[in-house]
């Protein structure tokens, strides 16, 4: 067995151990990405081999929490891919307008920037008051940041540009207060948002969702886990409900492709068909 194979075996044993100890399942993450993250975590510790992490992570929950934060890439931004939000407003919002209550699941919401972006656009379309957004992630530290609504002031210039490109109607600064080098977004934006821990690798469906967004999360999963998660999204959506993925993610080649029609290719927006393969009228 050469060094690369031995390293792979160490990662396999580590992930197996963590699954049995904590129930967090990284075994079906894409090998390249989990290896990068484990090596990144290793470089921040005093250990010199991946296998040496096993006892420390198994016995010390605090270390496991740091590992979790390090392994899950929480990079995100407000109004990421503004053309996506523009199309969402044009193609999906008119459909949402036909419902008295709107259920939205934002899976893999990281530190919340995307969730507040959506909340702002829903508000500007007079849809926020009848919407409820379930914003989930498996990373509690990220969820706490999302609940806090505090972000660096230095990011606001780029976010404002993206907000305008997304079709935002006012000024992004209408929605936050700046203090020193940070801003806090208005509490009113959080009124209809429930942040909760949900692990896409092990947990189940939400029901009767009209819109599910899960962007830039599936890229970290292998094909089997992607299929598991996409089935959960399909089963969570009501007929005619919409699914939005990240720009590098697709339903093509997945087990659920036939349950959806493609609404916007570049923006990765799909609509759930009924059992007879049609959209409900």
Ligand X SMILES: C[S@@+](CC[C@H](N)C(=O)[O-])C[C@H]1O[C@@H](n2cnc3c(N)ncnc32)[C@H](O)[C@@H]1O
243 binds ligand X (CB under 6 A): no
Q: Hey, is 109 helix, strand or coil?
A: coil
Give whichever of 129 and 154 is closer to ligand X, judged by the CB atom.
154
Q: With contact defined as beta carbons under 8 Å apart, do 87 and 267 qualify?
A: yes
Pairing outcome for strands 131-137 and 102-107? parallel
Give all strands of the β-sheet with 150-152 in edge-to-edge order: 150-152, 182-185, 176-179
Site string for ligand X, 117-156 (x = CB under 6 A): --------------------xxx--x--------------
Judged by CB under 6 A, the residue of 34, 57, 76, 120 near ligand X is 76
Give whichever of 10 and 249 is closer to ligand X, judged by the CB atom.
249
Judged by CB under 6 A, the residue of 1, 4, 32, 75 near ligand X is 75
**Closest separation in Å from C-beta 68 to ligand X:** 8
Q: Which 90-109 positions form the footprint of ligand X (CB under 6 A)?
A: 108-109
Give whichever of 232 and 237 is closer to ligand X, judged by the CB atom.
232
Q: With contact defined as beta carbons under 8 Å apart, do 44 and 38 qualify?
A: no
- Residue corresponding to tokens 């009228």: 281
- List CB contacts of 132: < 8 A, sequence separation 6 or more: 101, 102, 103, 104, 192, 193, 194
**Closest separation in Å from C-beta 246 to ligand X:** 6
Site string for ligand X, 171-200 (x = CB under 6 A): ----------------------------xx
Judged by CB under 6 A, the residue of 58, 182, 201, 238 near ligand X is 201
Q: Hey, is 35 helix, strand or coil?
A: helix
**Closest separation in Å from C-beta 64 to ligand X:** 14
- Residue corresponding to tokens 């005619």: 240
| 112 C-beta neighbours (distance < 10 Å), count | 29
Backbone angles phi, psi at 247, to 5 degrees: -65, -20
Footprint of ligand X (CB under 6 A): 72-76, 80, 108-110, 114, 137-139, 142, 199-201, 215-217, 220, 246
């Amino acid at each position: 067995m050469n060094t690369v194979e031995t390293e792979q075996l160490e990662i396999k044993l580590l992930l197996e151990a963590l699954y049995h100890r904590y129930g967090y399942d990284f075994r079906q993450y894409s090998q390249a990405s989990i290896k990068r993250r484990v090596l990144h975590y290793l470089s921040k510790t005093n250990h010199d081999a991946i296998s040496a992490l096993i006892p420390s992570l198994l016995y010390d929950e605090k270390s496991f929490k740091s590992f979790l934060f390090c392994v899950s890439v929480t990079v995100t931004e407000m109004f990421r891919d503004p053309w996506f939000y523009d199309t969402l407003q044009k193609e999906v919002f008119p459909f949402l307008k036909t419902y008295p209550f709107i259920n939205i699941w934002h899976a893999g919401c990281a530190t919340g920037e995307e969730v507040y972006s959506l909340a702002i656009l829903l508000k500007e379309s007079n849809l926020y008051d009848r919407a409820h957004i379930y914003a989930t992630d498996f990373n509690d530290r990220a969820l706490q940041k999302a609940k806090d609504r505090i972000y660096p002031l230095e990011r606001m210039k780029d976010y404002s540009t993206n907000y305008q490109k997304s079709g935002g109607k006012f000024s992004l600064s209408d929605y936050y207060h700046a203090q020193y080098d940070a801003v806090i977004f208005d509490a009113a934006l959080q009124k209809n948002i429930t942040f909760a821990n949900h692990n896409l690798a092990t947990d189940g469906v939400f029901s009767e969702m009209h819109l599910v967004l899960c962007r830039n999360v599936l890229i970290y999963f292998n094909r089997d886990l992607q299929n598991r998660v996409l089935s959960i999204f399909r089963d969570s959506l009501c007929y005619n409900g919409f699914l939005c993925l990240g720009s590098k993610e697709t339903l093509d080649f997945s087990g659920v492709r036939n349950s959806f029609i493609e609404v916007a290719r570049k923006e990765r927006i799909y609509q759930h068909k009924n059992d007879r393969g049609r959209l409900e009228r």
